[in-house]
Structure 1
Amino acid sequence: MEIVVVGRHVEVPDRFRRHVEDKLSKVTQLAPRAQRVDVELTHERNPRQSDVSERVELTVKGKGPVIRAEARADDAYAALDVATSKLMERLRRARDRRKDHHKGLSSVKSEAPPVLAEDVLPEPAPAVDDAQRDSAATPAPGEAVESWWGDSPVVIREKLHQAHPMTLDDALYEMEMVGHDFFLFIDAETALPSVAYRRRGWSYGVIRLDAPVAAPVDAL
């Protein structure tokens, strides 16, 4: 399994890279199909956020759903510890879900399981350096582009993902696996662009656009 460590606005020390490899050595025990783990270390320059100035984002990619976790702290090692704990818990849940699914295939059930068979989540965009960011105008699939909003200091990060139609159950599961509070997807039953989002506790909401997705038409 390949481990790729990158830094945004920060140099990644060799000692930290070695520590990352030690912390993530058990990933393959829970996710034997994992092929790569992307580790992104980001330093927040705003002094008002010094207590959460270091952010670590972990993304596991392989033959299965993309699983992600992140954490913030005043120290990169502390952020890595918290992010790794979250990641391992999500990997365990994904492993247990696979086991439940395989058991379900061997017997006929009267009711559908809470979640359906896993779909592959479109991979998050890899980190890009400042030169790539400045030269790119529109993101290609699987890339991220950052730009400034006019003359303001507001930075817009834009990503483009390939959409795979899925059910609401699949979308909620994928949202939990990547640790987001919302998830944008194409509903497999209605073909409508939809957003699932977290409310209070275990309550969720769904917003759909009344505009079915149409296949692109080639220009004549």
Structure 2
Amino acid sequence: MEIVVTGRHTQIKQRFRDVVEKKMDRVTAIAPDAQRVQVVLTHEGNPRQADTAKRVELTVIAGRTVVRAEASSADEFSALDMALDKLTLRLRRTRDRRKDHRRGYESIVPVDLGAVEPPADETSVEEEPNNSPQAAVASDLGPGESVEVQVGDTPIVIRRKLHIAEPMSIDEALYQMELIGHDFFLFVNKDTNRPSVVYHRHGWSYGVFEIDTPENVAADK
């Protein structure tokens, strides 16, 4: 399994790399088909956030399945342990789900809306400096392409990216939301062909938003 360790606003020490490589045995024990794990260590320079100054993001790619987890702490080693605990729990859920022959779901690549390091071959679309929200959505994008535009002199940055995802059911979308560890998940509902969002409310309660146009709704009646 390939292990890639990168840092944001910090340098990666050899000791941290050694600990990461040793602890990744937990991943291969649960997911022997894992091909790549990406570890991103971020340092928060704000002294008011000293208790969460180190954030570790873990992303595992196993076939067509992507599983994510992240955690923050005062030091990178405890953050790594907490993130790894979350990751192994989600990997076990993935393994157990594959054993559930009553469902027979295929693994689907989730649309990850979190802050993840883009792959090396990801293409960025260079935009002329237009500094407007419209510029972020004006151009056509291909799969995997992205564009970022800063709005005027403000600190606001709008990032737009095109993801390709297979339509899925609401149950599958909830499952994928758990894998990437987010409170919401954007998908195309295969039963209605509508762009939809599932989101976590509280406890075991979830919500679903679906989007459609008045014309389409009227045509279906």
TM range (shorter): 0.7 to 0.9
Which residue in the other structure is 1:26 paired with?
Answer: 26
TM-score, length-normalised on structure 2? 0.79
Counterpart among 97, 106, 118 of residue 107 in structure 2:
118
Q: State the 1:183 CA deviation.
A: 0.0
Counterpart among 127, 152, 162 of residue 117 in structure 2:
127
Q: Is 1:65 aligned to residue 65 of structure 2?
A: yes
Q: State the 1:25 CA deviation.
A: 1.5
Which residue in the other structure is 1:177 paired with?
Answer: 179
* Cα separation, 2, equivalents of 1:117 and 1:198: 23
Counterpart of 1:67, as a letter, is V
Runs (4+) off by over 6 Å:
132-135
Report percent identity of matched pairs.
54
Which 10-residue stretch deviates more, 139-148 or 46-55?
139-148
Which residue in the other structure is 2:76 paired with?
Answer: 76
Which residue in the other structure is 1:53 paired with?
Answer: 53
Q: State the 1:148 CA deviation.
A: 3.4
CA 1:64–1:203 in 2, change beyond 3 Å: closer, same or farther? same
CA 1:191–1:128 in 2, change beyond 3 Å: closer, same or farther? closer
* Cα separation, 2, equivalents of 1:159 and 1:165: 18
Tell me if the contact between 1:133 and 1:147 (Cα under 8 Å) persists in the aligned partners.
Answer: no
Which 10-residue stretch deviates more, 172-181 or 9-18?
9-18
SS of 1:89's equivalent in the other structure is: helix
Q: Which stretches in structure 2 are left out of the alignment for 5+ residues?
A: 128-135, 215-221
Which residue in the other structure is 1:200 paired with?
Answer: 202
Q: Deviations over 1:15-35 (max 9, x none)?
A: 111111111122112112210
Alignment coverage as a number of residue pairs: 199
SS of 2:186's equivalent in the other structure is: strand
CA 1:68–1:100 in 2, change beyond 3 Å: closer, same or farther? same
CA 1:142–1:154 in 2, change beyond 3 Å: closer, same or farther? same
Q: State the 1:47 CA deviation.
A: 2.4
* Cα separation, 2, equivalents of 1:13 and 1:135: 33
Kindly report the root-mean-square deviation, in angstroms, between the aligned alpha carbons of the 2 structures: 2.8
* Cα separation, 2, equivalents of 1:167 and 1:140: 25
Q: State the 1:116 CA deviation.
A: 4.1
Q: Which stretches in structure 1 are left out of the alignment for 5+ residues?
A: 105-112, 213-220
Which residue in the other structure is 1:218 paired with?
Answer: none
CA 1:144–1:74 in 2, change beyond 3 Å: closer, same or farther? farther
CA 1:53–1:121 in 2, change beyond 3 Å: closer, same or farther? same
Which 10-residue stretch deviates more, 194-203 or 56-65?
56-65
* Cα separation, 2, equivalents of 1:143 and 1:44: 28
